[in-house]
Amino acid sequence: MTRRLLARLVLVGALLLGVLTLQSPARADLEHPRQDFLRSSVGGLFLHWGQRTAPSHTSCSQWESDVTGGGWTPDYWVQEAQKLHTQYLVLATFHSRLGYARPWPSKIPGSCSTKRDFLGELITAAKAKGLKTILYMTDDPQWHDEGGHEWLDSAAYSKYKGRTVDLTGRDGFGEFSYDNFFEVMDRYPDLGGFWIDNDNAYWESHNLYAQVYQKRPNYTISNNNEDTPIMDMISNEQKTGMSPSYDYPQAVYTAAPRLVEADFKLPSTGSWWYTGSDPAVDRKLTLGRLITNVGSSVKALMAETAMVGGRLPGNQVAFNNFAKGYLDAIAESVHGTEGGGYLHGGLAPGFWNDGSHGVTTVSRTDPDKHYIHVLTPPSTSTLRLRDNGYRVTGVTNLRTGAPIAYSQSGGTLSLTGLGGWDPYDTVFNVTTAGREGIVPASSYTMSASASAGGHGAAAAADGDYRTYWDSNKTTPVSLRFDLGSAKRVQYIGVNQREDSVSYARSGTEQSARIRDYRVYVSNDGTTWGSPVKTGTLPSRRGVAFIDIPATTTRHVRLEVVNTHAESSDSTRYKRLRIDEAWIGTAYAAGGGTTPTPNRYEAENGAYSTGSTVDSDHTGFTGTGFVNTPNAVGAYVEWTVQSATARSASIAIRYANGTTTGRPLDVSVNGTVVSAGRAFDGTGSWTTWADSILTVPLTAGANTVRVTATSANGAPNLDHLDVEASCCV
C-alpha cells in the first residue's frame, strides 16, 4: 500500500467518522466559553430591516440604492446600541415578513441579496467597538407572497440546485436557508452567531446546529420561543399582562443557568419594523423591563424600528439619548452583575412592603457588593426586604452617594427616611460583611421521601446551581436535613427552580412552587411530633424563607403539602424542584446607621427684633443660642434646602428653665403645620431637649419658622436638625 493511498483511506475514515458524529443526537453545552460574551452582556439591539421597511420596495436593487442613498452607516447602529448599554446587535433582514432580504452579496439565488455588504460592514463596525453582530435566520416561508408580491424565486434556486425545489414549502425553504447558513459561516468568521426563528425539519435531519458549532466554534445559536436544547439560548417575546407591567420575569419558565433572553419592542405600540409611524416609547415600562431582566440574569433584546436609511424615528432617538445618561449613572449596578436572590446569592427581590417592588443585583467579582433597584416605591418612607443572611455594613444612594439610614432585625433589612424617589429606578448601593448564621452544607446530610432519577436530595445542598432536587411529582413530599449534631435552628432558606410562571396565566401555564408546608424537628430523626410551623408560601420568584420558633435540634423536615399548579397544568402539577435549601441558625447580626442630619443653628437664622444670641447657659451647639423677647409673635426662622419634595423629620432643640410651657406655632413655607406645639419646661436652662415632628418640604429652599403664641415668648432655641434625604 502506497503512502498516498494510506493517507486517502485515513482521510475518508475521518470524514465518515465526522458524518457519523454529526448524525448522532447532540445537545449544546449548558455552559461553554463561546457563551461568555452573552453571559457577561446586559442585552442587545434588535433591528428588523428589509425590503418591506416603509416605504416598501419590491425591487431588491432599488431598496439597496435607497438604503445607500439614505446615508446608511453601520457606525450609527453601533452608537445607538451603546447608548442602550447593550453589547450585541441582532440583524433581522431575512425576516419572512420583510421580503426575505439578505444584506450581503450572495451566490445563492432564491431571494433578495445586495451587492453592497451591509452585514460585513456591520460586523466590522461592531467589532471595532467591542460589540458582536448576530444574524437572524428564519425557517418560515409562509409569508412568501406577503402584500401580493412573490418574494421567493423557486425557479432560480431550482436551476442552481439542478433539480426542482419549491421554496414556498417548508422542506424546500429549509434547504434554501440551510445553504445560506453555510455561505454566511464561510464569509464571516467574526459573526457572533445566529438568532433563529423557530426550527426546521430539514435543518434537524441534516444536523445543522452541530455543524455550526463544529465549523464556527465561536458562534452562539439562539432560538425564538422554542427551548431547543442544542442551542445556547432561548429568547422569548416579552409577555404582557404582568403586575407590575414591566415584570416580565414573572413568566420566565426556563431555568438558569440556561441562557435566557427577553425580546421586546421599545415603541410601545406598532410592528417590530418601521411602518412609517413614530409611536411613543414608554420610559417606565422600557426601563422597568430592562432592569428586571438584569435583576433576573435575563438578557434584554430591545427592538427598535430602523427606517430604510438606517436611522431611527425621533421618539426612539430621544429615548436612546435619555437612556444613555440615565444608565450611565447606575452602570455599576447593571454591568458585571447577576440577579440577586437566585443562584448567585444576594438580597431578596420582588414584592416588598407597602406596595413596593423591584429587583436586586450582586457583583460577579465581589459577593459582598449589592444593589437594590426600587422600580415601584413604597407608599411610606421605609423600605424593608429580606437580607438573606448578609450582614450589612453600609447603604448609600448610588446616584448621589448620600448615606441611607438602615437597620437589621429578624432577617430583614430596613431602609428609613426615604423620599424623593426616582420616577423609574431608585438604586441603593449596599455593602456587606458576608453571610452569617448559615449551616455549611458540607456539615449535614440531605434526604427526601421521593426523588426523580438523577435528581436526588443531595443536589439541594451541593452549592452547584446546575443541579437540583426533583420530587418526582410527589406531594406531600419531605426534604430532610440531618445536621449531624444538635444545632440552633431559626429559619429555612429555599431557592426553588425558576422554570415556571409565578402565577396562573392560564389553565396550562401555572406555578410549580411550594404552596402549603409544614416544618418538623426531631432529635433522633424518628420521633417528630407536631409541626413547629405551618404556613403558605406565595408564588413569587426569588429566594423564599420559612421562619420558625428558634429551637435546638439535629433533624429538620420540610414537608411540602402541595404546590401552586392545578391539575389542569399536567406539566407542572405536583412538580417540585429545588436548586438549593439551607438552614439558618440565627439572623444576621443587627446593626445600622443613621446619616448625620442637616443642622441649622438658630444663631445663623433670622429672628424677631429684640432677640439676642446668648452663650451663658452651657450645653448648646454652635456659637450660642437665640433668646427671644417675652412676647406673642417672637420667632426664629431657618432656610432649609431639600434636593427633592419629601416628608422629613425635623428636631427643634430648645431649653425651658421655667415650669411654664412656651408653646410655638411651627410653619413651613408660611403654612402652619403644628399649631400651639408644646415646649414644656426642661428642668433648667442648661438642660436641652428635642421636639420632633414630620413636615413637608418642597424641592429647593424652604422656610421653617417657630412663632411664640404666649406672652412668655419662645424657649431658648439652639438649632434645627433636618433628616437627611435619601436622594440629596
Q: How far is CA 404 from the centre of its chain?
A: 22
pLDDT given for residue 573 in this prediction: 98
CB atoms inside a 10 Å sphere around CB 20: 9
Strands 193-197 and 220-224: parallel
pLDDT given for residue 725 in this prediction: 63
Task: Give the whole-angstrom CA distance, residue 337 versus residue 352.
Answer: 21
Please tell us whether the domain made up of 441-584 is placed in CATH 2.60.120.260.
yes
pLDDT digits (tens, 9 = 90+) for 59-100: 999 999 999 999 999 999 999 999 999 999 999 999 999 999
Question: In which element (H, E) is residue 16 found?
Answer: helix 3-23
Residues 317 and 351 sit within 8 Å (Cβ to Cβ): no
Taking Cα atoms as reference points, which of 165, 178, 181 lies closest to residue 204? 178
> Distances in Å between the alpha carbon of 656 and those of 56, 575, 608, 665, 716?
83, 69, 19, 16, 7
Sign of CA dihedral 170, 172, 175, 178: negative
pLDDT given for residue 646 in this prediction: 87
Taking Cα atoms as reference points, which of 299, 141, 303, 137 lies closest to residue 234? 299
DSSP structure string for 569-600: -TTTTT--EEEEEEEESSPPPP-EE-PPPEEE
Angle at 638 between CA 635 and CA 639, to 5 degrees: 145
The residue type of 100 is Y
pLDDT given for residue 30 in this prediction: 86
Tell me the fold of 598-722: Jelly Rolls (2.60.120)
pLDDT given for residue 28 in this prediction: 67
Task: Give the whole-angstrom CA distance, residue 621 versus residue 679.
Answer: 19
Strand partners, 551: 489
Q: Please give the grid coordinates belonging to residue 28.
A: 449544546
Residue spans in the chain of domains classed CATH 2.60.120.260: 441-584, 598-722
Low-confidence stretches of the chain (pLDDT beneath 50): 1-25, 726-728
Strands 259-265 and 299-304: parallel
Taking Cα atoms as reference points, which of 520, 580, 587, 594 lies closest to residue 554? 520
Estimate the crossing angle of helix 208-215 against helix 3-23, to 10 degrees: 130
What global pTM score does this model have? Answer: 0.83
Q: Please give the grid coordinates belonging to residue 517.
A: 408546608
Residue spans in the chain of domains classed CATH 3.20.20.80: 42-328
pLDDT given for residue 373 in this prediction: 98
pLDDT given for residue 171 in this prediction: 96
User: What is the homologous superfamily of the domain 337-435 according to CATH?
Assistant: Golgi alpha-mannosidase II (2.60.40.1180)
Cis peptide before 55 (omega within 30 of 0): yes
Question: In which element (H, E) is residue 492 found?
Answer: strand 477-496
pLDDT given for residue 4 in this prediction: 34
CB atoms inside a 10 Å sphere around CB 1: 6
Residue spans in the chain of domains classed CATH 2.60.40.1180: 337-435
Please tell us whether the domain made up of 42-328 is placed in CATH 3.40.50.2000.
no
Task: Give the whole-angstrom CA distance, residue 434 versus residue 514.
Answer: 28
